Amino acid sequence: MLLVVGVSIPIFRFFLFAEIDARVREDLLEEFEEFQVDLETWDAATPDSEETLLEFVDTFLDHEIPEDDNYHVVILEEAFYRSNPMVVPDVIGPDSDLMQQWARLQSSVESTVQVSDPAVGSVVYRTQVLEINDVPQGLFVAVHLSAGERVESLAAIYVFVKVAAAVVVASFLLAWLGSRQLLKPVQQLAETAKKINETNLSDRLSVKGSGELSALATTFNTMMDRVQNAFTSQRNFINDAGHELRTPITIVQGHLELMEDDPEEQQETLELVMDELDRMGRFVNDMVLLAKSERPDFLLLEAIDLKPFTEAIFSKVTALADRDWQLASLEPGRFVADRQRITGALINLASNATQYTQTEDMIEIGSAISQKQVRLWVRDTGEGISPDDQQRIFDRFARAAKSYRRSEGAGLGLAIVRAIAEAHGGHVELISQPGVGSTFTLVLPLQ
């Protein structure tokens, strides 16, 4: 920008001086034309004589006031006669070189003379020969000295330079402040990235406005959410695996170390080892499912017809145990979900219900659509869940502490159900009362 201002100043000065010179010549031409009109009028009304010419010259000089920095000069008989104003600069005074040059002119001319005096600048003039009976008697000269106009112009240029410099400084200041404000999210991004390590994944960028940098901050925060979830999932997987696999591995190792040569004892040991390995396999599968539930590609969504889907679930769960199975509230409609995941969640809930009910108890499978939501539930008339346990049974490895039955699983079933519901953008509702039964409901959005 400074370069632009530096280049523009001489260009501005050139065009400004050119405009001034053009205006000066127009002013001189107007004054000159006024003199010619007055001269023609006098010449037509007055007989030519030296006395009448002097009378005309005196009258014109007395009544026609020239513009600023303009001078009217009359030369008679090759000598300075009069001027208006009366006092003229030395450069056009009676004894000046220009005056001597004008005195020798025998015709009308227009010219510009450059002088070295900065108080004068250049001399722009037009001349008119004064005649009596076609005989030259003298000369009328309209003169303009450019120094005054140019001084005013230079003052204007000086003001322009100051204003331009102020604008440039202000622009740089505003640009600096603006760039700091605009780049603040980038700086914060760099600082946050430096702080991130395995033990600190919680820092996020503040999102303000709706520009591209705000979009960058939002994208960064979303990326960090995924990274943190991945680290958390990995850490939970490792911790849970170490916690749950330690006991069956110890059991397997201990029995294998103590196994003797007796075939019957060996068979019992192998059956026990296989049972523990099966339990470890189920646990690993459940842990893998929980870890996958936090990935974007966990779900394969499709449109599902609610009524036939509920009937299919009912057909599958009735084979789990001998209970009073009931199918309720079959409403028509469609919803979007992962058929396999929702089926697994409902079978998990039904299997869980069979473990806390007896043969004569009822287990109900139902579904309904309300307020842009689909509700799929498993209700039983089993032993129920205490209020204290209701707050924790959806956690990993949690079991109802006050139940007289013990599940054979690792305590991941309800955690998996909740993970599947949340992956769909929904949740799990639980209504339970000890001695009355429980109702687990998957609440999912239709779309």
Supply the pLDDT for residue 12. Answer: 58
pLDDT band at 324; cut points 50, 70, 90: very high
Interval 198-213: pLDDT, tens: 667 777 766 666 667 6
Over pLDDT 90: what percentage of the chain?
16
The size of the chain, in residues, is 447
What CATH topology corresponds to 2-153?
Answer: Beta-Lactamase (3.30.450)
Supply the pLDDT for residue 389. Answer: 84
The answer to whether 58 and 82 have CB atoms below 8 angstroms apart is yes
Supply the pLDDT for residue 404. Answer: 44
> For the ranges 4-8, 14-18, 25-29, 413-417, which has the lowest average pLDDT?
4-8
Mean pLDDT (whole number) for 272-286: 77
Higher pLDDT, 180 or 402: 180
β-bridge pairing 373-380 and 362-370: antiparallel
For residue 429, pLDDT over 80 is answered with yes
The amino acid sitting at 365 is I
For residue 278, pLDDT over 60 is answered with yes
Supply the pLDDT for residue 21. Answer: 66
What is the homologous superfamily of the domain 302-445 according to CATH? Histidine kinase-like ATPase, C-terminal domain (3.30.565.10)
pLDDT band at 310; cut points 50, 70, 90: very high
pLDDT band at 303; cut points 50, 70, 90: very high
Q: How far is the CA of 297 from the CAs of 189, 223, 414, in angstroms? A: 28, 15, 21
Higher pLDDT, 337 or 287: 337
Mean pLDDT (whole number) for 94-123: 78
For residue 427, pLDDT over 80 is answered with yes
Over pLDDT 70: what percentage of the chain?
81
The answer to whether 112 and 25 have CB atoms below 8 angstroms apart is no
> For the ranges 44-53, 81-90, 161-170, 408-417, which has the lowest average pLDDT?
44-53
Instruction: State the Cα–Cα distance between residues 441 and 421, nearest whole angstrom.
Output: 10
For residue 221, pLDDT over 50 is answered with yes
- Closest among 229, 346, 242 to 291, alpha carbons compared: 229
Cβ neighbours of residue 379 under 8 Å, at least 6 residues apart? 328, 362, 363, 364, 366, 437, 438, 439, 440
Interval 17-66: pLDDT, tens: 666 666 767 767 777 777 777 777 776 556 567 777 788 878 888 777 77
Higher pLDDT, 234 or 224: 224
pLDDT band at 141; cut points 50, 70, 90: confident
Dihedrals phi, psi of 250, to nearest 5 degrees: -65, -40
DSSP string, 131-146: EETTEEEEEEEEEEES
The answer to whether 353 and 365 have CB atoms below 8 angstroms apart is no
Instruction: State the Cα–Cα distance between residues 319 and 326, nearest whole angstrom.
Output: 13
Instruction: State the Cα–Cα distance between residues 263 and 269, nearest whole angstrom.
Output: 10
Ramachandran category for residue 65: left, alpha or beta (phi over 0 → left; psi -120 to 50 → alpha): beta
The answer to whether 153 and 16 have CB atoms below 8 angstroms apart is yes
Give kind and range of the element (H or E) at residue 18.
helix 2-45
**Which residue ranges make up each domain of the chain?**
2-153, 212-292, 302-445
Give the orientation angle of helix 147-195 with respect to helix 2-45, to 10 degrees: 160
Supply the pLDDT for residue 335. Answer: 93
Q: 328: helix, coil or strand?
A: strand
Q: Can you give the pTM of this predicted structure?
A: 0.48
Mean pLDDT (whole number) for 372-376: 92
Average pLDDT, the chain: 79
> For the ranges 171-175, 264-268, 355-359, 376-380, which has the lowest average pLDDT?
264-268
Supply the pLDDT for residue 306. Answer: 92
Higher pLDDT, 12 or 332: 332
Give the orientation angle of helix 212-258 with respect to helix 147-195, to 10 degrees: 10
For residue 2, pLDDT over 70 is answered with no
* CATH number of the domain located at residue range(s) 212-292 in this protein: 1.10.287
Instruction: State the Cα–Cα distance between residues 364 and 290, nearest whole angstrom.
Output: 26
Supply the pLDDT for residue 102. Answer: 83
Longest dimension (CA), the chain: 164
- Closest among 121, 125, 101 to 111, alpha carbons compared: 125
Mean pLDDT (whole number) for 166-179: 83
Supply the pLDDT for residue 273. Answer: 79
